[in-house]
């Protein structure tokens, strides 16, 4: 018996029990749909993290006032003002560093015409925008001249601009920050949320000198909340971290054996941790969904064993008229594979459709790749072969005489 004839026999057997075939197929449909859905959610989370990391800028350190002890008391990170603008300027001179950006921040009330908006105000230098990989939607950033002169100029985040100007071009307009007039020189392109969930676009940026002298004030003149430091290349990150640490210890006159009064955080290392966590989450979600495929495979094995028992006399007659063991084995194996493949195709469509619905309803980034589609389909086929082999082998091993006597 040739392969096409065997395939025809397998299809005929499946059509004779449409309800049983459909119910058995349901396990594979649910399993494949679940795998596609879970993997697409995990891949979407990983892609979102990678996008956020890329938007933060490359080869970055964040240096913050660090934990220290004094007189028996411990102070948390950022609680003591130990970093200054001069520290940032000194770090910028290191051979492995391309730029630094000191930062001070607070909150401020903005006014334009009859509208007002409360947002975060960040005082920094022009290098902040290149270090942080910010792009302009319109206008320009403030300049070194604005920094030296402490000019009242401001760059708006996209959310702040929309809330204050409602579609009107803000560049060249004057807004009031804590009742002081500031000229809008630029609007930044949207970045979305940071890894911590903060909206990066609801923000305004002014020269750090202007912030310190006119807006936020400073109990400790020259001190900063943190600084961003950009290394020249990823290969020099370890060297740069060591150089920054040694320089700050020297500038702060920290004795040997004493704790640092600052903390250097490697954002590249943090990004690797976040990416690794997203990959693990994707694998866990896929593994959980794969359990449903295994359950579907067990269901297929159960139904095929029942089918072999019900068709014992048919198997005996076919063997008696010349069908060999290979033909019987192939037919039952094909029946199991057809259930899996047809169920896999339907599950594939349901999984992709479900992913699209979730992305629209929950406003989540869902990514479906050809790789995960191929993986789900191959896994479904493998389940058909694995769980269909034992019933097929049992059918093929029946002796014609015993099969014909079966009642």
* 61 in any annotated domain: no
* 58 in any annotated domain: no
Same domain, 311 and 396: yes
Give the per-residue pLDDT at 78. 47
* 357 in any annotated domain: yes
Same domain, 335 and 241: no
- Low-confidence winner among 51-55, 293-297, 322-326, 363-367 (lowest mean pLDDT): 51-55
Give the per-residue pLDDT at 123. 92
Same domain, 313 and 399: yes
The β-bridge relationship of strands 68-70 and 262-266 is unpaired
Same domain, 228 and 296: no
* 59 in any annotated domain: no
Helix (H) or strand (E) holding 227: strand 226-231
Residue 368: C-alpha distances to residues 149, 192, 384 (Å)? 52, 22, 24
Same domain, 107 and 225: yes
* 57 in any annotated domain: no
Give the chain's mean pLDDT.
82
Give the per-residue pLDDT at 3. 63
Same domain, 278 and 256: no
**Residue 248 belongs to domain spanning:** 81-260
- Integer distance in angstroms from the first to the last C-alpha of the chain? 27
* Number of other CB atoms surrounding residue 308 within 10 Å: 21
Instruction: Please calculate the CA angle 277-280-281 and round it to the nearest 5 degrees.
Output: 85
Same domain, 319 and 379: yes
- The C-alpha atoms of residue 155 and residue 205 are separated, in whole angstroms, by 5
* 64 in any annotated domain: no
Same domain, 303 and 342: yes
- The C-alpha atoms of residue 95 and residue 219 are separated, in whole angstroms, by 33
* 158 in any annotated domain: yes
Give the per-residue pLDDT at 75. 43
* Number of other CB atoms surrounding residue 277 within 10 Å: 13
**DSSP codes of every residue in 189-205:** PP--B-TTS-BTTSEEE
pLDDT digits (tens, 9 = 90+) for 219-248: 667 788 899 999 988 888 889 999 999 999
Last residue of a domain, one of 211, 236, 260: 260
Residue 134 pLDDT > 60, yes or no? yes
Residue 394 or 158, more confident: 158
Last residue of a domain, one of 260, 295, 311: 260
Residue 70 pLDDT > 60, yes or no? no
Give the per-residue pLDDT at 219. 61
pLDDT digits (tens, 9 = 90+) for 298-332: 888 888 888 888 778 887 887 887 777 888 888 88
Same domain, 138 and 183: yes
- The C-alpha atoms of residue 216 and residue 199 are separated, in whole angstroms, by 21
* 168 in any annotated domain: yes
| Contacts within 8 Å (CB) and 24+ apart, 106-111 | 106/211, 106/215, 106/216, 108/177, 108/178, 108/204, 108/215, 109/177, 109/178, 110/160, 110/164, 110/175, 110/176, 110/177, 110/204, 111/175, 111/176, 111/179
Same domain, 281 and 145: no
Give the per-residue pLDDT at 10. 67
Which residues pair with residue 262 across a beta bridge? 65
Instruction: Please calculate the CA angle 388-394-396 and round it to the nearest 5 degrees.
Output: 100
* DSSP 3-state of 220: coil
Of the pLDDT bands very low, low, confident and very high (cuts 50, 70, 90), residue 71 is very low
Instruction: Please calculate the CA angle 24-28-29 and round it to the nearest 5 degrees.
Output: 105
Dihedral angle computed from the Cα positions of residues 35, 38, 41 and 47, in that order, rounded to the nearest 10 degrees: -60
Q: What is the mean pLDDT of residues 177-186?
A: 92
Same domain, 99 and 224: yes
Give the per-residue pLDDT at 127. 92
The β-bridge relationship of strands 153-156 and 203-207 is antiparallel
User: Domain total for the chain?
Assistant: 2
* Number of other CB atoms surrounding residue 164 within 10 Å: 22
Last residue of a domain, one of 260, 289, 312: 260
Give the per-residue pLDDT at 220. 63
- Residue 289 near residue 32, CB atoms below 8 Å: no
Same domain, 216 and 253: yes
């Amino acid at each position: 018996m040739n392969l096409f004839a065997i395939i025809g026999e397998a299809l005929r057997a499946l059509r004779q029990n449409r309800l049983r075939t459909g119910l058995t197929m349901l396990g594979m449909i649910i399993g494949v749909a679940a795998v596609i859905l879970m993997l697409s959610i995990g891949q979407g989370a990983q892609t979102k993290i990678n996008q956020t990391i890329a938007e933060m800028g490359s080869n970055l350190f964040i240096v913050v006032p660090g934990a220290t002890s004094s007189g028996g008391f411990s102070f948390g990170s950022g609680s003591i003002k130990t970093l200054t603008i001069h520290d940032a300027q000194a770090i910028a001179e290191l051979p492995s560093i391309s730029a630094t950006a000191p930062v001070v921040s607070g909150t401020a009330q903005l006014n334009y015409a009859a509208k007002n908006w409360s947002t975060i105000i960040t005082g920094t230098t022009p290098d902040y925008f290149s270090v942080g990989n910010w792009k302009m939607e319109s206008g320009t950033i403030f300049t070194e001249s604005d920094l030296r002169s402490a000019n009242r100029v401001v760059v708006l985040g996209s959310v702040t601009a929309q809330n204050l100007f409602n579609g009107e071009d803000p560049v060249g307009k004057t807004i009031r920050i804590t009742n002081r007039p500031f000229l809008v020189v630029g609007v930044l392109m949207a970045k979305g949320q940071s890894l911590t969930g903060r909206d990066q676009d609801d923000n305004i940026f002014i020269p750090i000198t202007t912030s310190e002298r006119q807006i936020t004030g400073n109990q400790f003149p020259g001190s900063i909340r943190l600084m961003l430091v950009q290394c020249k290349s990823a290969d020099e990150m370890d060297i740069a971290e060591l150089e920054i640490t040694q320089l700050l210890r020297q500038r702060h006159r920290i004795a040997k054996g004493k704790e640092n009064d600052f903390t250097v955080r490697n954002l590249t290392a943090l990004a690797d941790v976040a990416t690794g966590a997203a990959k693990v989450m994707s694998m866990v979600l896929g593994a959980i969904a794969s359990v449903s495929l295994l359950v579907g495979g067990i269901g297929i094995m159960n139904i095929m064993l029942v089918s072999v028992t019900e068709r014992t006399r048919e198997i005996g007659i076919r063997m008696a008229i010349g069908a060999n063991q290979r033909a019987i084995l192939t037919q039952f194996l094909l029946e199991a594979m057809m259930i899996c493949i047809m169920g896999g195709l339907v599950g594939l469509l349901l999984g992709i459709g479900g992913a699209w619905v979730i992305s629209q309803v929950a406003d989540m980034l869902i990514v479906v790749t050809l790789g995960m589609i191929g993986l789900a389909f191959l896994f479904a086929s493998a389940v058909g072969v694995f769980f269909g082999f034992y019933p097929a082998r049992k059918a093929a091993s029946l002796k014609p005489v015993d099969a014909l006597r079966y009642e």
